[in-house]
């Protein structure tokens, strides 16, 4: 019954949350095993309660994590397993390279203030969480034959965690962690300027840690400008509202900024109003550097193919555009240059495209 994939070729995904990509069966398993109450007894019921299928608000979406994070957070076994299963999920979707993000603090129960999800204090620190996720990803890579790297998230409302996040990025940069992100509620006034965030992003620049930031998903282009000018981000998570400031949009196009677009997510969170043209259509027409991503498939009851189907069916996206955006995603990935070139060559080959003389030199606008 599953329809043929909209783009049945190797894909690159750059914006997907580990804690938004867990199998309902796994949540149920750990809820039972650890004696943690969940709102349902079967995977189907649980999926219905956690999932969304019509447009709501970003805060409503964020409230979904409360249901199931207590079953996973604080468990070494659960954290390693969700990372491993994530790689399996992506391999099935035809993804050959993925960068998966999460907040190590939100999966810990020790050395984190406040302790999230009403957990009792335990002995699992954010630092060990980062290590466990990388272990699970590595085991998944071996088992399923694709490449997976991690991005560690700062949270807008917890600036005091951010300096620890950048230190973990430095510590685990050779174990699979490739960058730092900022997630959470971008409505929090002045959050781009919170000293903890400023300090962490400055340190990331200083030590060569790659940077992305959720910005302009639901808020004004000003947040995008702050992400670029204040936090020195190299990619923009979502960034739809950039289009409300033509001068900023023109500048970011000129700078070949990469936009991590999540179409189905933007519909359900209300970041995009369905009666208007989706920003990704403008990005396509202007040949902007962007990617297509699933964001939180558990909550959006989707796969990466949902985003490809949606753009193909409703927005007229072609096979050629899918190839172009995946090549841009590979070029804007946070892999080291030699691995980036390898990934690009893999895509050129699979897409039946000639290898350019210097495959990884610069990014085509
Ligand atoms: Zn996101």
Predicted confidence at residue 361, as pLDDT, reads 52
Distance from the CA of 213 to the center of ligand 1, in angstroms?
9
Assign 58 a pLDDT band (cuts: 50, 70, 90): confident
Q: What is the pLDDT of residues 167-205, one digit of tens each?
A: 999 999 999 999 999 999 898 999 999 999 999 999 999
Q: What is the pLDDT of residues 38-55, one digit of tens each?
A: 999 999 999 999 999 899
Predicted confidence at residue 360, as pLDDT, reads 46
Distance from the CA of 16 to the center of ligand 1, in angstroms?
6
Evaluate the CA torsion angle 308, 269, 64, 130 in order and state its sign: positive
- 340 and 12 in contact (C-beta within 8 Å)? no
Predicted confidence at residue 358, as pLDDT, reads 62
- Quick check: helix, strand or coil at residue 259? strand
Strands 210-215 and 11-17: unpaired
Predicted confidence at residue 356, as pLDDT, reads 80
Distance from the CA of 360 to the center of ligand 1, in angstroms?
27
Assign 333 a pLDDT band (cuts: 50, 70, 90): very high
Mean pLDDT to the nearest integer, 242-265: 98
Instruction: Give yes or no for residue 234 having a pLDDT over 90.
Output: yes
Instruction: Give yes or no for residue 365 having a pLDDT over 70.
Output: no
Distance from the CA of 15 to the center of ligand 1, in angstroms?
6
Instruction: Give yes or no for residue 160 having a pLDDT over 70.
Output: yes
Distance from the CA of 65 to the center of ligand 1, in angstroms?
13
Global confidence as pTM:
0.95
Catalytic residue among 85, 99, 203, 217: 217
- State the Cα–Cα distance between residues 330 and 199, nearest whole angstrom: 29
Planar angle of CA 72, 111, 73, nearest 5 degrees:
5
Cα–Cα nearest to 14, from 294, 300, 346 = 294
321 is catalytic: no
Strands 235-238 and 258-261: parallel
């Amino acid at each position: 019954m599953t329809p043929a994939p909209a783009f049945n070729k190797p894909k690159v995904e750059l914006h997907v949350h580990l804690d938004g990509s867990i199998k309902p069966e796994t949540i149920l398993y750990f809820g039972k095993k650890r004696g943690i109450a969940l709102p349902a007894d079967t995977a189907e019921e649980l999926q219905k309660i956690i999932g969304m299928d019509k447009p709501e608000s970003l805060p409503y979406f964020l409230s979904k994590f409360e249901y199931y994070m207590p079953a996973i957070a604080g468990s070494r076994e659960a954290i390693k397993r969700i990372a491993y299963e994530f790689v399996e999920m992506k391999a099935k979707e035809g993804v050959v390279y993925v960068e998966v993000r999460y907040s190590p603090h939100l999966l810990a129960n020790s050395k984190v203030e406040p302790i999230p999800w009403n957990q009792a204090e335990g002995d699992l620190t954010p630092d060990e969480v980062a290590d466990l996720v990388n272990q699970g990803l590595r085991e998944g890579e071996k088992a399923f034959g694709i490449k997976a790297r991690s991005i560690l998230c700062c949270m807008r409302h917890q600036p005091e965690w951010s300096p620890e996040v950048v230190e973990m990025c430095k510590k685990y940069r050779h174990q699979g962690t490739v960058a730092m992100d900022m997630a959470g509620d971008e409505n929090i006034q002045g959050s781009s300027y919170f000293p903890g965030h400023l300090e962490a992003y400055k340190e990331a620049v200083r030590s060569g840690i790659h940077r992305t930031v959720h910005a302009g998903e639901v808020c004004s282009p000003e947040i995008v400008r702050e992400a670029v000018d204040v936090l020195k981000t190299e990619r923009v998570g979502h960034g739809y509202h950039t289009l409300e400031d033509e001068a900023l949009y023109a500048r970011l196009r000129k700078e070949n900024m990469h936009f991590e677009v999540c179409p189905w997510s933007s519909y359900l969170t209300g970041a995009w109003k369905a009666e208007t043209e989706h920003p990704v259509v403008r990005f396509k027409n202007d040949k902007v550097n962007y990617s297509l991503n699933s964001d939180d498939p558990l909550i959006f009851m989707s796969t990466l193919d949902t985003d490809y189907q949606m753009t193909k069916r409703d927005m007229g996206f072609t096979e050629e555009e899918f190839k172009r955006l995946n090549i841009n995603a590979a070029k804007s990935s946070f892999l080291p240059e030699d691995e980036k070139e390898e990934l690009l060559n893999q895509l050129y080959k699979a897409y039946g495209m000639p290898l350019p003389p210097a495959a990884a030199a610069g990014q085509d606008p």
